[in-house]
Chains A and B, each alone.
Chain A
Amino acid sequence: MAAPVLEVTNLTVAIAGGGDRANAIENVSLTVMPGEIVCVVGESGSGKSVTSQAVMALLPKGQLRISGGSIKLEGDELTTKSQPAMRAVRGKRAAMVFQEPMTALNPVERCGDQIAEVLEIHTDLDAKARRARVLDVMRSVHLPDPEQMAEAYPHQLSGGQRQRVMIAMALVLDPALLIADEPTTALDVTTQAQILKLIREMQVRRNTGVLFITHDFGVVSEIADRVVVMQRGRIVEQGTKAEILAAPREAYTQMLIAAVPSLVPPVRVPITSQVTLETIKLNKTYGGRSFFKPSGRVVKAATDVSFQIRRGETLGIVGESGSGKSTVARCIARLVDPTSGRIDLDDVDIARMSERKLRPYRRRVQIVFQDPYRSLNPRRSVGQSIIEGPMNFGLPHGEAIERARNLMGLVGLSPDALDRFPHQFSGGQRQRIAIARALAMEPVLLIGDEPVSALDVSVQAQVLQLLDSVRKKFDLAVLFITHDLRVAAQICDRIAVMQRGVVVETGPTANVFANPQHDYTRALFSAAPGQGFGHRIGAGKIDLVPAV
């Protein structure tokens, strides 16, 4: 058996000044063999990123420091190395790919020059040889037209291309170890599939050991050879992919895996109640000419979007970033004014209503936003946030408080927490509060704009469950915007697939998943990572038990 590329033994990283725990990671031991992809999975705060930063000696100074254990790269101890000595290791023997390629690349330097910089620092190659190597590596990561791409600035490339440049930069010196820290999290699912394929290909061709950090079990099942599960700074369980995914031993791992929604939609009875919301040829364009901008470019964010949502029904809009799904949601909530078309809410067109006329209809459409950390005013207590809406519509303070207390119970929080401020709650709890705030308005239509995308998978399952139970309880029409096909499969009665502002396909969830008609839908579905994984736990769909 070959010697491991990376051998981490009993690694402990202490938090200076102490946070909610003394050590960011404790007694972490793992190995990466040549040509092996080891996935480190865990929820936020599990210490998976700290592990990778420790290996690269990139821990934030003064906050985290290695207090015990060893890190061996090809048998060479790293923990005792000075920063100058580590500089010779970084890039040359171990390289890293980050989550957000836009911020990881220098925005004012040409991509080719950024890759060449690595060679300039670590090799004696002359400019011509460097140029040749750069083009070579760019070709190997399948960047189209490398000569031109090398001259481009990062903002001129797409997200996927930028990540390819990052990977090219990491691989140009043929490092023994590649650390990829959530490299596809910021990317669309079709792009993600390509990048995963690329990492796989690179690793096979160059026999690189890869330490792959991710929170997504779909990705794990797609790419991993071995899996390390982390929770609160400790390794819960590690083993081969088959062992972990098919037969997890630890309760935590079982819970994590069970919380991953399946790609197979459950059988649902078609809903035939009355139509709550109907959009007819809804259009939204941005830009265009104005007095101060004589030459504006017109962007069509939504084109002729038409759909219906019935009472008690969940319609999902799925699509990649820039597909216009959020624009549609925001038009319906009248946060932006649609350019043309109708939005019929219980047969009243609200698309072009003036703010004054719209006021009584505002309460009937409520929205839950993606980012739980920004959707509540940090300066106002949770109670104040919840009662604000009802009091805007004339409910006396006492009754509003009473309603808020009931709703807090309904969303699974203590009614006594109304006096607390948002920063005292976790992300999932804040999302519950946001749901309570929406429900306080007694809406007929609830819009969820990626309401679970920022949450960890176990919390995500709980919030989805809550959303589904309030839909049933209040007979709400729900418009659910998501990029996550697994979530869509589980929660939506019908789905509409959007691409570049156009609804390309719509139908009952089961039909669309089983038999996608449009090319784009098929591409989208086939790109979803971990297809097999999803099917395998198909029986273990989210248990949608009412929360109250």
Chain B
Amino acid sequence: MSVEPNIAASSSPLTAVPAARRQQSSMARAFRNPSVLIGGLVIVIMVALGAAAPWLGTINPTEPHTSGRNKLPGSEVTVRDDDGKPVKIAYRLGSDNLGRDVYSRVLYGARISIFVGITVAIISVIAGMIIGLFSGYIRWLDPIVMRIMDGLMAIPAILLAIALVSLFRAGIGAVILAITIPEIPRVVRLVRSVVLSVREEPYVEAAITTGTPMLKLLWRHVLPNTIAPMIVQGTFICASAILVEAILSFLGIGIPPETPTWGNVMAAGKDVFYLFPHNIFYPGVMLALTVLAVNMLGDGLRDTLDPKLAKRV
């Protein structure tokens, strides 16, 4: 049996697929998934609408027009501008009780909603990932961190928003903070559960015995295992953040009412809802479509990137 080293060397399976190609194909597989495709497409459209709002025939979304209040979709009104010249305004989707153009407000509102959604997702995923990594890896830290997270999870976003707005000023920063804080524990728990199982993997233990410093070890051997679940979790956080932001705005405890957000548009229209439902209908449709699209994207990514995650989330 002394010939075996040569056998082993020559019988290496050279035909196996290189890892780089394998990873690529998992991304390619994700893009072939119909719910990823549809969800992604709708999100791209929403982002484009928000980004291109100034060029899509909109007018200043915050400017009230006393002569154009509560107009139905499609009506045209002549108003006077600052110099007194008459200007024609077409209210494609009607106007609200201050004469602001709902079409413009809905398009500009997409900016805020998507910005809040993505920012909250990124901040809570990064913060949760860091806390979760250390909490899962350092044994003595774990019970302490987890009890703090339990405490954070007990705070409803709405109450926190009220508290933050009363402490600072109403604004997008306060809203993002208020939505992010209760989301962080969910990310921490998920990351921690991944770390707890990966920590026991022999390759992690092998890295410990070869003297890999802790930060390097977490970065190289543990963190990559959390990426796929985090992408998926991030999309769900994004969807929920968009909804919560709309709720906070609607309740008047979020972003100041003159700022165009979908929640604010709906809030402005709620008192005259029976007569002019368009105030709530259009932003509502946009909101529902966006959240649905983000959730579809998340579901599709979960199915393709991490089938096992379905049981955990």
Contacts and interface: CB of A to CB of B under 8 A. Distances in A.
A39 B207 CA distance: 42
Contact of A417 (B6, B12, B209, B216): B12
Interface string A398-419: 0000000000000111100100
Contact of B205 (A367, A388, A543): A367
A291 B205 CA distance: 28
A354 to B, nearest CB: 13
Interface string B194-205: 000000011101
Interface string B205-222: 111111111001000110
A389 B5 CA distance: 25
A462 B202 contact: no
A30 B252 CA distance: 79
Contact of B8 (A363, A393, A432, A440): A432
B167 interface: no
Contacts of A335: 205, 208-209
Contacts of B206: 367, 369, 375-376, 385, 434, 437
Interface string A417-429: 1001101111011
Given A413-B12, A425-B13, A333 B209 contact: yes
Interface residues of B, number: 31
A548 B201 CA distance: 31
B211 A374 contact: no
B4 interface: yes
A276 B202 CA distance: 25
Given A375-B202, A421-B18, A421-B19, A465 B1 contact: yes
A441 B210 contact: yes
Nearest to B6: A412
B12 A362 contact: no
Contact of B211 (A367, A385, A392): A392
Nearest to B19: A421
B12 A425 contact: yes
A372 B204 CA distance: 13
Contacts of A291: 143
Contact of B13 (A426, A434, A462): A426
Given A379-B224, A388-B212, A389-B211, A424 B143 contact: no
Nearest to A417: B12
Contacts of B5: 411-412, 547-548
Contact of A367 (B13, B143, B209, B213): B209
B1 A388 contact: no
Given A413-B8, A543-B1, A547-B4, A393 B13 contact: no
B9 A388 contact: no
A542 B2 CA distance: 11
A362 B211 contact: yes
A366 B202 CA distance: 12
A100 to B, nearest CB: 19
A380 B201 CA distance: 14
A461 B212 contact: no
B87 interface: no
B209 A424 contact: no
B16 interface: yes
A20 B160 CA distance: 59
Contacts of A412: 4-6, 8-9
Contact of B9 (A414, A424, A543): A414
Contacts of A194: none
A293 to B, nearest CB: 9
Contacts of A420: 12, 16, 18
Q: Chain A: interface residue count, which band?
A: 35 or more
Interface string A432-445: 10100100110000
The A contact surface, by secondary structure, is loop
B192 to A, nearest CB: 15
The B contact surface, by secondary structure, is helix
Interface in B18-75: 18-19
Nearest to B139: A337
B16 A462 contact: no
Nearest to B200: A374
Given A374-B203, A412-B9, A366 B210 contact: yes
Contacts of B13: 424-426
A400 to B, nearest CB: 12
B12 A424 contact: yes
Contacts of A462: 1, 4, 8
Nearest to A333: B209
Contacts of B203: 374-378, 385
Interface-centre pick from B5, B201, B216 (highest chain A CB count, 10 A):
B5
A363 B210 contact: yes
Contacts of A379: 19, 224
Nearest to B16: A424
A371 interface: yes
A392 B4 contact: no
A510 to B, nearest CB: 23
Contacts of A57: none
Contacts of A542: 1
A377 B221 contact: yes
A375 B1 CA distance: 26
B221 A389 contact: no
Contacts of A333: 205, 209
Nearest to A414: B9
A470 interface: no
Interface string A338-382: 000000000000000000000100110111011100111111110
Contacts of B207: 377, 388
Contacts of A380: 220
Nearest to A462: B4
B208 A428 contact: no
30 contacts: A291-B143, A292-B143, A333-B205, A335-B205, A335-B208, A335-B209, A362-B210, A363-B211, A375-B203, A377-B207, A377-B220, A380-B220, A381-B19, A388-B210, A388-B212, A388-B220, A389-B210, A389-B211, A412-B8, A413-B9, A414-B9, A414-B12, A426-B13, A428-B8, A429-B8, A432-B8, A441-B211, A461-B1, A543-B1, A545-B2
Given A392-B213, A393-B211, A413-B8, 9 more contacts: A366-B209, A367-B209, A377-B220, A389-B211, A413-B9, A414-B12, A424-B13, A424-B16, A441-B211
Closest 7 A-B residue pairs measured CB to CB?
A389-B210, A412-B5, A369-B202, A424-B16, A375-B202, A421-B19, A545-B2
Interface of A: 290-292, 333-335, 359, 362-363, 365-367, 369-371, 374-381, 385, 388-389, 392-393, 411-414, 417, 420-421, 423-426, 428-429, 432, 434, 437, 440-441, 461-462, 465, 542-543, 545, 547-548
